[in-house]
Amino acid sequence: MHIEVLGADGGKKSGSSLVAMKIGRSVLIDAGSASSLKDDEQSQIEVVLLTHAHLDHILELGFMADAAASLRDSPLRVLGSAASLKAVQTHYMNDLVWPDFSRIRTSSGPAVIYETIVDHEWVELPGGLSAMPVPVNHGAGARGFLLRSPSGGAAVYTGDTGPTSDIWEEASKLEDIELILAEVSFPDSMTDLAISSDHLTPKLLAEELRKLDRPSAPVFAFHLKPWYRQEIDRDLSRRLGDRAVLLMRGDRLTF
């Protein structure tokens, strides 16, 4: 199954792109950068899987909902933890900041439907993809995901997190982990800030990976604060060598 990186940054500056990953043709993890999709590509997105409700992960969800009302013949499904969905409905698509598209009707029903996912249980998604939400150490109802492709390959997607445990425990039960997509927001020199804001540095990520005995699985780092990209790159190379790569918009992965 293919992953297309629409955005991989954890901050906004000229040339950056906030986090959004397209999996196959029909699933999007987070919606920080979704407007880069062409109309026909956007119309094929059936599910947006939210890691959490912080702005850099939901920024363009409202525009996706707007497009869904015009481009799709069926509702756009927004999946996430109860806390994440409540935050989106209460503080974003609430008929004040942005229309509540779950109340806007199209010929086939509401433009958007919200679906709460259950922790530690697999959910079947379009294209044969399966995902398991796992709580991670971050705010706003944050979840990471274990992903399983139709061919049986698996991937770990941490979402935003500080040092955590559950996702590595669940991942250790999977045999065919082909990719680890992990957040690395700050360089090692900013460890105190990373810990206080529930994020990772290259050093902290290296410590996290030791909780999962999969030393051959390649690591793809995302959610970098774009101001520190070069420093993070140096630190990551020192900690993990050739095993780790920084993701950029336009990258494509397969699992």
pLDDT at 157: 99
pLDDT at 140: 86
In the predicted model, what is the mean pLDDT of residues 92-110?
95
pLDDT at 107: 83
- With bands split at pLDDT 50, 70 and 90, how would you rate the model's confidence at 201? very high
Say how many domains are in the chain. 1
pLDDT at 130: 99
pLDDT digits (tens, 9 = 90+) for 16-38: 999 999 999 999 999 999 988 99
In the predicted model, what is the mean pLDDT of residues 54-66?
97
Query: How far, in Å, CA of 48 to CA of 105, rounded?
Result: 19
pLDDT at 165: 98
Query: How far, in Å, CA of 46 to CA of 22, rounded?
Result: 11
pLDDT at 178 over 90: yes
172 lies in which domain range? Answer: 2-254
**What's 236's DSSP letter?**
H
b/e for 108-136, b at 16 or more Cβ within 10 A?
eebbbebeebeeeeebebebebebbbbbb
Average pLDDT, the chain: 97
pLDDT at 50: 99
Query: How far, in Å, CA of 49 to CA of 74, rounded?
Result: 17
Question: What's the distance, Cα to Cα, between the start and end of the chain in Å?
Answer: 5
pLDDT at 36: 86
Which of 3, 62, 63 lies closest to 28 in space, CA to CA?
A: 3
Asked if residues 99 and 106 have their Cβ atoms less than 8 Å apart, the reply is no
Indicate which CATH number applies to the domain containing 212. Answer: 3.60.15.10
Percent of the chain with pLDDT over 90: 95
- With bands split at pLDDT 50, 70 and 90, how would you rate the model's confidence at 108? confident
Percent of the chain with pLDDT over 70: 100
Asked if residues 247 and 8 have their Cβ atoms less than 8 Å apart, the reply is yes
For the whole model, what pTM was predicted?
0.96
pLDDT at 161 over 90: yes
E strand segments, 15-124: 20-23, 27-29, 47-49, 76-80, 105-106, 109-110, 112-116, 123-124
Which of 58, 52, 34 lies closest to 44 in space, CA to CA?
A: 34
- Give me 1's structure tokens: 């199954």
